[in-house]
Structure 1
């Protein structure tokens, strides 16, 4: 039997609820499949942990993560901790420390889910976000604090190596899609150094992929295109900040942030990759059992695919789509279902797909 060590980091807010639901579904999928299993270790790194200890990740924590096959991450963010402290204290040290430079965010309108767009059938995209440098490189500082002439600098960093590898990743992924089309998102009209390098390297790499069609769009213009001509887009590659913003728009156009998944990949597999739903910690509904677990389930699908468990991934995705098509939806999608009810519905579809019953599953798990 194939065994996978999984680091579960629920984090803050609804992260604790949706990761618990995700682990429940993953345990069921592995039990029903019978060919693999997960050994999950819960790591209590959260804002509560930070407030108690003064840090999110203990000394050696990122190195400790290298011993896992994958990381299942919930959310980070607390009303008691400034956002820059929580982000730079937990998520970014993991993504950068494990060189998870390819952030992959698919966006699609699931069956039974409404979109604000009239022509929502065109929403079927994958946004590739450079995840290690660019605007989130951490270069900058503040001087003369407290004085009228105080200065804050934030320097975007683009390296040829970093730019080339994300473009190659995007081309390789575009090659696997039916349309084989890749859109370069840029802002090189205004950002004339780093973003011009971004464009030039894209053009160089494109020469190695004659089977992939390409086009180029300024980041501000691509937002209009996503709304007015969604069918004109397929795979998009963008910088750290630009893709961060565009993927939230893509999620909203798909129906809700509550259904949007993410994979933070180290494509060379030198280090474990991290899988997280987009939605954040959602203070307003935390602890109420109302969080939408679909984003976490779809994220689990991406994790299964990354681990090579394609058959299980396909069945889980089919179960998710069956549940949304049946109208079992949480409040963010206009429904009334709770986190537990959506989770139970997905589990029921999985058992049906594998021809199992709840009693047989319980016996299998016990054995």
Structure 2
């Protein structure tokens, strides 16, 4: 029996509802494969911010540094500005633990129609690889002359050779192990410094991966092509901003962000990696018990795979696909009436 220690951060909104679903799946499927999980739960959230003035304690990273992985439910509440909640919890963990890869797989499943008529089950299977710790989400900049007519804001994008090289290397290696096709998101025709720099480094990394067919696509044209013909894509690598936007777009192509998983990875495993569903805290439905747990369940599969349990991870993914294909059980966002617990149970019946 292998034991893993997991830091649970349910967070805000429906994070409180989907985190137990992910935990139930980890415990059930893990037990079949000789894997046991122990959990330490942390109340880091917007509720904590209102009580203490901080999303997490000053020594928060030290409290979770020795865990094998982190599972985060969701971050955000209308009562707290987004830049406060994100920069007080999610981003410090990503950057403090050098989780420079944000991995977001996308599939169209049988039983969950895509709004894109050409996106058929089994034909859309891609991964967005997002640079996760620098780029457009840099901390360089500021605001001047607040409250005066000449008030201004400056936000600097920061791209480093080390940062672009390592995310490109990860993406090309991933493409080597998939269908061997990579698309690099750029905008070098309009952003004259950082994007040509990105393009040059991606091209350099490509020379070490001769079996990968690749091309650079301007972000605006790429967004259009993802809607017109999503089947042509395999691995897409993009900067922090471009990867963020594309991962939500591709999730929508697959039928909704409620099913989308994500992993924040430190590939060198010097620090724990963090796993989170894409859907956010969804305050409009929070507390009603109807949140779609599929994003959290698929995220649990990513966690299992990262910890070295590929067969268990595949079992979870198979259960998701089988449930959608063979069961009528759906949460309201997918057109059904099931609650979170009922949908989780339905998935596990196929595991």
- Normalising TM by the smaller chain, what interval? over 0.9
Specify the alignment match of 2:68 in structure 1.
69
Q: How far off is 1:30 after superposition?
A: 1.9
Specify the alignment match of 1:48 in structure 2.
47
Q: Under a length normalisation based on structure 2, what TM-score does the superposition of the two structures give? A: 0.97
Specify the alignment match of 1:344 in structure 2.
345
Matches of 1:310 and 1:242 in 2, distance apart? 29
Specify the alignment match of 1:105 in structure 2.
104
Superposed, 1:104-123 pairs within 5 Å as 104-121=103-120, 122-123=123-124
The gaps in structure 1 that reach 5 residues or longer are 351-367
- Corresponding position: 1:299 with 2:302: no
Asked if the contact 1:114/1:333 (under 8 Å) is kept, the reply is no
- Corresponding position: 1:172 with 2:173: yes
Asked if the contact 1:123/1:253 (under 8 Å) is kept, the reply is no
Specify the alignment match of 1:9 in structure 2.
9
Specify the alignment match of 2:84 in structure 1.
85
Q: More deviation in 229-238 or 200-209?
A: 229-238
Specify the alignment match of 1:37 in structure 2.
36
Asked if the contact 1:263/1:275 (under 8 Å) is kept, the reply is yes
Matches of 1:139 and 1:106 in 2, distance apart? 30
Asked if the contact 1:188/1:195 (under 8 Å) is kept, the reply is yes
**Residues 238-286 of structure 1, C-alpha deviations (whole Å, 9 max, x = no match):** 0101111111111111001100000000001000000000000001110
The gaps in structure 2 that reach 5 residues or longer are none
Superposed, 1:124-135 pairs within 5 Å as 124-135=125-136
Matches of 1:201 and 1:281 in 2, distance apart? 36
Superposed, 1:1-367 pairs within 5 Å as 1-33=1-33, 35-121=34-120, 122-177=123-178, 179-325=179-325, 326-350=327-351
Matches of 2:124 and 2:348 in 1, distance apart? 27
Matches of 1:324 and 1:19 in 2, distance apart? 20
**Residues 332-360 of structure 1, C-alpha deviations (whole Å, 9 max, x = no match):** 1222221111111122222xxxxxxxxxx
Matches of 1:248 and 1:333 in 2, distance apart? 17
Asked if the contact 1:259/1:298 (under 8 Å) is kept, the reply is yes
Q: How far off is 1:20 after superposition?
A: 1.1
Q: How far off is 1:191 after superposition?
A: 0.9
Specify the alignment match of 1:358 in structure 2.
none
Q: How far off is 1:328 after superposition?
A: 1.8
Q: How far off is 1:111 after superposition?
A: 2.1
Aligned length in residues = 348
**Residues 180-225 of structure 1, C-alpha deviations (whole Å, 9 max, x = no match):** 1000100111111111110000011100000101011000110110
**Residues 302-351 of structure 1, C-alpha deviations (whole Å, 9 max, x = no match):** 1100000111111111111111112322121222221111111122222x
SS of residue matched to 2:10: strand
Matches of 2:316 and 2:244 in 1, distance apart? 26
Q: Under a length normalisation based on structure 1, what TM-score does the superposition of the two structures give? A: 0.93
Asked if the contact 1:323/1:342 (under 8 Å) is kept, the reply is no
Matches of 1:27 and 1:250 in 2, distance apart? 30
Asked if the contact 2:119/2:229 (under 8 Å) is kept, the reply is no
SS of residue matched to 1:107: strand
Runs (4+) of structure 1 moved beyond 3 Å?
Answer: none
Q: How far off is 1:64 after superposition?
A: 2.0
Matches of 1:274 and 1:340 in 2, distance apart? 24
User: What's the C-alpha RMSD, in Å, of the aligned pairs?
Assistant: 0.9
Q: More deviation in 312-321 or 272-281?
A: 312-321
Q: More deviation in 200-209 or 309-318?
A: 309-318
